[in-house]
Structure 1
Amino acid sequence: MKYGGYAGKLLRVNLSTETVEQQDTSDYLPEWYGGRAMAARIAWDEIPPGTSAFDPASPLIILTGPLTGTAAPFSGRTTVCGISAQGYPVEWYSRSSFGGHWGPELKHAGFDGLIVTGRAPYPVFLKIENGTCTIEDASQLWGMGIYGSQKKIMEQYGKQWRVFAIGPAGENLCRIAVAATETESASGQGGYGAVMGSKNLKAIAVHGTFPLKVANPERFAEVCRLVLKEAHGSHGWPHTAELDPVKVQLFGQRYQACTQGCAVKCYDARFYTTVPAVLQRGKTLSGQVDCIAGLFPGFKESFYNWDLGFEAGFEIGQIANDEGLNHWEILVGIVPWIRFLKQDGVLSSIDGMKIDLDNPEFWAFLLRGISRREGEFRSALSEGTVRASKILGLGEERLKQLFPAWGYAGHWDGHGDRINYVFFPYWIVTALQWAVDTRDPVSSAHGYGQNIMGWSRVCSPEHGLDWNTIRKVSARIYGTEACADPESGYSGKAFPAWWHGQRSVMKDSLTVGDQVFPRIYSNKTEDHFAVAGDMEGPSFERHMFTSLTGISWTDKELEHASERVIQLERALLVRNFNRSRADDESVIPYFEMKEQQTNPFIGNRVALDRTEFKKVMDEYYDLRGWSRKTGRPTAGTLQKFGLGKEAEDLGDLIVEED
């Protein structure tokens, strides 16, 4: 292999013909440098118009990045791409990702990723070890949960194996089904667990011992040391996470890295070893609670104020994990929607059971029924909340309060998502990100709104920065203080959305943790701009990449390669799904509701101004080189990114110049 960091091979598995082939990763390098970037190239070449999520020919693309499996801090994630079963109003090309140790293990087994097509005639799993891949019978695993499936495979082959599996939700083609590894590292959004289920693919088990080459070992080690030294607390924020002494004593709470390369004590991720079960009396449970899963117990004095208590909430979270269900959809979408319907007097019971969000038996009944398509109402919810509303003819107005677009519940948008604290004007950037994406964009786009709010004294009163410092540091990245000024309104919001678009691709392609990168703000420098050695914070990822691989790109060259991915993804959406500005603008009504939080400099809750937002969209399209009228890349833009052939293929669907 010419470059460091890469295993050197891709697996191509056709389950219909039961054949396994290997391809050189170098076929896509360096232009399509890993993960999401490489997947975009594969998708354009191999997903023709008319392909649906459950079409056997539809490729399931699972790829690591060059940093995966190395010593790079906060690396180790795996990117999943393909036609999304969760997507609405159409199933279109999208993406997801997951952490844990599966991706690094795949790299050490000799593969940078795999592309799975076809449908097996019976349930199967893939067994990948040190340069080989075989298709194995999974009939004995079918019907089992994700935990049981992993345990069964590890009992047969050894505890050192890593397993990526689906539960009953994926088997039953539930559109909100996840695929997951370990206790809570899931490809959560997109419904890719159902895509695996449609292929009769129960699991992918990996084990490897191959080393990975490093192009410049001394420089790579130094860069990793400096990046690690500069690291702050959880989410890259200034505060330090702490354990709960009571939960440590009662439930064995401890810190848990959600991904192989995580290097700080996380605010979200916790592992518990001794939690008494409530539904399964006499049983002691263990497992991880990460991200939104902390909502399962409920929070008094909040929008999510059901009262299960910790033990029952933990158990319900473990049931959701084992069944293979999307936590975000459940906690930010389904359950709030059901509660709205109950409050409105529209719904009092579901499939014969009284709605009681304080009762763990109701939650277990709800979740298991969704994953197994039991009962009319729960079977409809298997299609996702948005589709369920249409099927049942219920709650469409309430739905609009929770779901911005594309079949996904709100996330860091100041409106439907009440758990994350962000106010106007920062959610203007989030609205732009939602507008031009195919899914909840924030899986790899926390870098703007979350970063600013987390570093402000609103969310970090003891260690945060004053607004003047945030404005000045932000201007070094975005070019103007207006991009981060709490009183700036719509001014300066297009550029951060454009810039963080590239950073999203970068994180999903290298791969590194979204919560930490890009590094912008710091409490370890005099001016509070992140710096480590000879590197500025936004360049950390590039320095790790170049010293590892030997691909001597500059910051601008890596950013250009990342924007090329956005251009090709958009071209694919235009060719296969006729994507246009009209689709992008469908998010506007959601944001025209008044926000949930109040900007202290304004003093009242703000709603989106349609006219002003359309001007920001114009600015964004200009930065991307897309037509203001159609929202599509121009032929000239595609040619600028070396995509002239793709521009020819699009023909009359795009214009030469705007």
Structure 2
Amino acid sequence: ARLAWDEFADGIDVFSPENRVIIATGPLTGTLAPTAGRTIMTSLSPRIYPKPWYTHSTLGGWFGPMLKYAGFDALVISGRASRPSLLLVQDGKAHVQDAAFLWGMDARQAQLELKKKYGDQAQILTIGPAGENQVRFATVQHAEENASGHSGFGAVWGSKNLKAIVALGTGSVPLADPKRLWDEVRALGTYVTSPNIGALRNHKEKPRPICSQGCTFNCYVSSYGTTVDGRTVPGQCIGGLAWMSNNVMELTYYYSSSMQVPAAKNFGFCEEVTLHERCNSLGLDQWFRLVIQPWLVACEQQGIHELRGYPIRPMDVFWFAGFMEDLAYRRGLGELFAEDLRRAMDELQGELPANLIALGHELEFGFGFPAHREGRFWDEEPLPFWVIAAMMYASETRDPTIGTHNSSLLMADYLIENREVALRQFRRLSEQVWGDPQALEPTFENKSKVAIWSQDQHMLIDSLTMCDFAFPQLMRPLNSKEEWEAAEDILGDLDIGRRLLNAVTGIEWSPEELNRVAERSFTLERLMLARAGRGRPAEEKLAPHFALPCRVDGTLIDAAGFSALLDEYYAARGWDLSLGWPQEEQLNDLGLGFTIEGLKQAKSRQPVADTL
């Protein structure tokens, strides 16, 4: 976050050469620490609506460790190459090389070509055609299934003529206490059920693919599938859950008196696996499907079978496969939707019924990110979890649930499974962690402490780096539903990350010191939003989404109630209530006094920024 504050100038365009891409590792990256193979990427995001601002993304795999072995903790990339280029990072040196031979290849082909050139040990990040053509939700791909996806950073790479980064290194990561680290890793076990959801899953399933170096967990969000031509490929997260399935896309269905989202459709398992692999190869964020496909189905249901002269058949596998190609290459209808769904709605305003335009905006209500774990569309998040999510949506740079699965939001599954047992356990857990047995009670009040804790844990996980499907261990691993229902105390080991960090660095960080690091990092990201002009006036505009009833329990909140949630959250953070921005005294206390002048300049521009 400090690098970003220093590197990103005010007012630059997302596709300007002055925009930066920061690729960073953490102190655990490249060690045996579980799940520490992850990599962090930050930039201005072209996906964000109505105007881009700074945000972040994470990806699993093996690139981050190899970057460390090559002698780099982070890369900061700026400018624009005059022709397609790649960056070779090898044993302490970085070289820009010609990549004209790769331009036009899909992400999978490009990686295979670079493996031929640099060897099987090379770890590669690359963009596909979607990135080359600056599709606003283009990904940066790695290996078969890992991606920096949601934030559209592939389009930023394309604007810089950056096709790929190749990391090769023969170094290592020094360890202060190898035995201490090894003991911690061994104590955590191998192929352990991921704590927050594992007890409710089928433990007789076959082992699933591991997505990152150092991962020792079964997170239940990955799977294998077979393509139509008989190849086995992995799927992770939304790809493994929704695409590579027979009927999960039907869960897009949502109904209320004011908003209806139709059920989408899967096309058959092998066909889905093939589409999923092609989506990765094109470099498209897989989440696009969960909003654009049901929106197109809604058009058909209202008797609209073409848009601007182009036919729409979203329930036909061949049409949908062609539509993905058109998106990535900005052809035909793809040119319109390559700008993302909300910008497409602005373009189609007046051409379509108002309810379809409203639906498109609502499906990406969170400043352009697809709705996710907000309790209405797609995920089941009953009270209090959607209130916690609402606070996070209103205060973060992007879809917040990307880093908070294990810190709170996946616990909703237990409340749905057995409300009585879950609430009994939650009260004890809440007292242990937050000092308030009511923190996870299904009410609207006093949820800011959980939201803030989850966000700060997210900052620590990304900084170390670790995976939020395994950490923090708010809940201990349980091996069956029966074991969970019989448990009185479900609290997990919240100190694992700190102990791993201390073993690697030899610095004895206290929990209080790490909490302060997390607060500093989150505050810096909030200040980046302030510089972009985002504050309470823009965040109040999220209220109508949460006035829709929750898909599980029907609970909702009106505009006044949502405003009260913001009051509670901002006050708990110590922020100014009118703008939702940090205050000077707080910044000085956190050692962030160097940001005060930038904050003053942001305040002087605020009447203009209110138009967000």
| TM surpasses 0.5 | yes
Deviation at 1:107, TM superposition (A): 1.1
Q: How many residues align?
A: 579
Q: Is the 8 A contact 2:82 2:161 kept in 1?
A: yes
Q: Is the 8 A contact 1:234 1:265 kept in 2?
A: no
Residues 459, 158 of structure 1: alpha-carbon distance in 2 compared, 3 angstrom cutoff: farther
Task: Report what 1:333 is aligned to.
Answer: 291
Letter matched to residue 590 of structure 1: H
Q: Is the 8 A contact 2:191 2:216 kept in 1?
A: no
In 2: Cα distance, 1:626 partner to 1:286 partner: 51
Question: Once the two structures are superposed, what CA deviation does each residue of 1:236-267 show, in whole Å capped at 9, x if it has no partner?
Answer: 5324555768xxxxxxxx62111112212331
Superposed, 1:18-29 pairs within 5 Å as: none
Residues 269, 320 of structure 1: alpha-carbon distance in 2 compared, 3 angstrom cutoff: same
Residues 506, 555 of structure 1: alpha-carbon distance in 2 compared, 3 angstrom cutoff: same
Q: Does 2:563 match 1:614?
A: yes
In 2: Cα distance, 1:520 partner to 1:232 partner: 14
The worse-fitting range, judged by mean Cα deviation, of 474-483 and 79-88 is 474-483
Deviation at 1:229, TM superposition (A): 7.2
Residues 368, 287 of structure 1: alpha-carbon distance in 2 compared, 3 angstrom cutoff: same
Q: Does 2:122 match 1:161?
A: yes
Residues 104, 459 of structure 1: alpha-carbon distance in 2 compared, 3 angstrom cutoff: farther
Deviation at 1:231, TM superposition (A): 4.7
In 2: Cα distance, 1:583 partner to 1:555 partner: 34
Superposed, 1:605-644 pairs within 5 Å as: 605-644=554-593
Q: Is the 8 A contact 2:342 2:361 kept in 1?
A: no
Letter matched to residue 295 of structure 1: A
* Partner residue of 1:447 out of 399, 406, 412: 406
* Partner residue of 1:385 out of 341, 348, 351: 341
Letter matched to residue 524 of structure 2: L
TM-score by length of 1: 0.84
SS at match of 1:358: coil
SS at match of 1:367: helix
Q: Is the 8 A contact 2:381 2:550 kept in 1?
A: no
Superposed, 1:270-289 pairs within 5 Å as: 270-272=223-225, 275-277=226-228, 283-289=229-235
Q: Is the 8 A contact 1:59 1:82 kept in 2?
A: yes
Superposed, 1:194-273 pairs within 5 Å as: 194-228=155-189, 231-233=192-194, 237-241=198-202, 255-272=208-225
Residues 77, 156 of structure 1: alpha-carbon distance in 2 compared, 3 angstrom cutoff: same
Q: Does 2:243 match 1:292?
A: no
SS at match of 1:547: helix
In 2: Cα distance, 1:176 partner to 1:243 partner: 37
Task: Report what 1:280 is aligned to.
Answer: none
Task: Report what 1:360 is aligned to.
Answer: 317
SS at match of 1:327: coil
In 2: Cα distance, 1:241 partner to 1:206 partner: 38
Deviation at 1:494, TM superposition (A): 1.0
Q: Does 2:375 match 1:422?
A: no
In 2: Cα distance, 1:517 partner to 1:195 partner: 30
Q: Is the 8 A contact 1:146 1:322 kept in 2?
A: yes
Q: Report percent identity of matched pairs.
A: 31
Q: Which runs of 5+ in 1 are unaligned?
A: 1-39, 246-253, 278-282, 532-536, 599-604
Task: Report what 2:538 is aligned to.
Answer: 583
Question: Once the two structures are superposed, what CA deviation does each residue of 1:288-323 show, in whole Å capped at 9, x if it has no partner?
Answer: 211111323551764344140001111111111100
Q: Does 2:597 match 1:597?
A: no
Task: Report what 1:469 is aligned to.
Answer: 425
Residues 460, 99 of structure 1: alpha-carbon distance in 2 compared, 3 angstrom cutoff: farther
The worse-fitting range, judged by mean Cα deviation, of 551-560 and 470-479 is 470-479
Letter matched to residue 232 of structure 1: T
In 1: Cα distance, 2:21 partner to 2:161 partner: 12
Superposed, 1:134-145 pairs within 5 Å as: 134-145=95-106
Deviation at 1:465, TM superposition (A): 5.1
Q: Is the 8 A contact 1:75 1:260 kept in 2?
A: yes
Deviation at 1:166, TM superposition (A): 0.2
Deviation at 1:337, TM superposition (A): 1.5
Deviation at 1:331, TM superposition (A): 2.3
In 2: Cα distance, 1:163 partner to 1:289 partner: 19
TM-score by length of 2: 0.90
Q: Is the 8 A contact 1:256 1:266 kept in 2?
A: no
Q: Is the 8 A contact 2:217 2:470 kept in 1?
A: no
Q: Does 2:133 match 1:172?
A: yes
Task: Report what 1:542 is aligned to.
Answer: 498
In 2: Cα distance, 1:495 partner to 1:558 partner: 17
Question: Once the two structures are superposed, what CA deviation does each residue of 1:209-244 show, in whole Å capped at 9, x if it has no partner?
Answer: 212111122222222223347953375532455576
Q: Is the 8 A contact 2:397 2:525 kept in 1?
A: no
In 1: Cα distance, 2:264 partner to 2:530 partner: 42
Question: Once the two structures are superposed, what CA deviation does each residue of 1:542-591 show, in whole Å capped at 9, x if it has no partner?
Answer: 1111221123221111010111111112222222x122211121211111
Q: Does 2:48 match 1:87?
A: yes
Task: Report what 1:20 is aligned to.
Answer: none
Letter matched to residue 383 of structure 2: F
Superposed, 1:54-73 pairs within 5 Å as: 54-73=15-34
Deviation at 1:616, TM superposition (A): 2.5
Letter matched to residue 257 of structure 1: I
Q: Does 2:360 match 1:399?
A: yes
In 2: Cα distance, 1:133 partner to 1:141 partner: 19
Letter matched to residue 238 of structure 2: I
Residues 103, 459 of structure 1: alpha-carbon distance in 2 compared, 3 angstrom cutoff: farther
- Superposition RMSD in Å: 2.3
Deviation at 1:200, TM superposition (A): 0.3
SS at match of 2:167: strand
Residues 465, 190 of structure 1: alpha-carbon distance in 2 compared, 3 angstrom cutoff: same
SS at match of 2:224: strand
Task: Report what 1:371 is aligned to.
Answer: 328
SS at match of 2:166: strand
Deviation at 1:48, TM superposition (A): 1.3
In 2: Cα distance, 1:80 partner to 1:344 partner: 41
Q: Is the 8 A contact 1:241 1:267 kept in 2?
A: no
Deviation at 1:541, TM superposition (A): 1.0
